[in-house]
Amino acid sequence: MVDILVVEDNIEMAALLCDFLEADGYSVKHCADGDSSVNSFESEGARLVILDIMLPSLDGFAVCRKIRENANTPIIIVSAKTEKDDKLNGLILGADDYIEKPYDIDILLAKIKGIFTRRYQTDILSDGFLKINKSKRIAYKGNTPLDLRQKEFDLLLLLAENAGKTLSKDYLFNQIWGFDSFSEPQTLTVHIKWLRQKIEANPKKPEHIVTVWGVGYRYER
């Protein structure tokens, strides 16, 4: 998973932005159109998306909508479309911020740093039922540490970070095992079963890792 996915069809502008981001220590991937950005996000993921609106194939609003179907990844729209309706549309679709072009690179970098600090540098995720220490990779049910395999921990963390949101089976599989993985999709079902055995009072009637039939799974606190 990269830190930042830059979706921008102006190649020179994208290259300059990627240079600034990489100089600040972020791993970056660039996509120049809507379709490839959605494919990239679904297969590789990203911790933050910087998204232009006027793109070939899918426009930025459509890309934002598709990302929000399965993930709460932070999205910053950066666009020359400055009308109030455009800004409202972007924010209603789930963007975390809307910045007009031309923008001050220092302001953009400060906003990105703020998002990463708030979202990813909090080491402990706790919801009253589970407590997850991200850096130590230990999860607790109450005060009892859970004996989790690597992929079980990764899957539980991804579900818990998106609590209350239904994540599709394809998204979960691609994020944990990777788009090019040799594992079978059934692997996800097996790992969900193992997690339920470790955290649910009654694994056959799960209350926390809930199946959304025909779609995927949702973590409930």
User: Do 130 and 116 belong to one domain?
Assistant: no
User: Are 9 and 111 in a shared domain?
Assistant: yes
| Residue 85 shares a structural domain with residue 35 | yes
Q: Are residues 13 and 116 in the same domain?
A: yes
User: Between vectors from CA 179 to CA 133 and to CA 209, what angle results, nearest 5°?
Assistant: 45
- Give residue 140's pLDDT: 93
pLDDT at 126: 86
Beta bridge mates, 77: 51, 98
pLDDT by residue for the chain (221 residues), tens digit each? 788 999 999 999 999 999 999 998 888 999 999 999 999 999 888 999 999 999 999 999 999 999 998 888 999 999 999 999 999 999 999 999 999 999 999 999 999 999 988 887 767 888 889 999 887 889 999 889 999 999 999 999 999 999 999 999 999 998 898 765 556 778 999 999 999 999 999 999 999 999 999 999 999 98
Tokens representing 60 are 């930025």
- Considering the domain architecture, whether residues 7 and 110 belong to the same structural domain is answered as yes
Give the residue among 75, 73, 114, 68 at the shortest CA–CA distance from 98: 75
Given 120, 150, 179, the domain boundary residue is 120
pLDDT of residue 118: 84
Range of the domain at 98: 2-120
Count up the domains in the chain and report the number.
Answer: 2
The CATH number that applies at residue 115 is 3.40.50.2300
- Residue located via tokens 């070939």: 56
Question: How confident is the model at residue 182, as a pLDDT?
Answer: 59
Q: What confidence score (pLDDT) does residue 40 get? A: 94
Which of 87, 120, 153 corresponds to the end of one domain?
120
Alpha-helix runs per DSSP H in the chain: 11-23, 34-44, 60-70, 84-92, 105-120, 150-161, 169-177, 186-199
Quick one: 86 and 141 in the same domain? no
The per-residue pLDDT for 183 is: 65
Domain boundary among 103, 120, 137: 120
Query: What is the reported pLDDT for 123?
Result: 79
25 shares a domain with 70: yes
Domain identity same for 87 and 133: no
What is the predicted pLDDT for the residue at 81? 92
Q: Do residues 68 and 131 both lie within one domain?
A: no
Q: Other CB atoms closer than 10 Å to residue 203's CB: what's the count?
A: 14
DSSP 204: T
Looking at the fold, whether 202 and 157 belong to one and the same domain comes out as yes
Contact status, residue 34 vs residue 55, Cβ threshold 8 Å: yes
Report pLDDT for 136.
81
Together in a domain, 116 and 136:
no
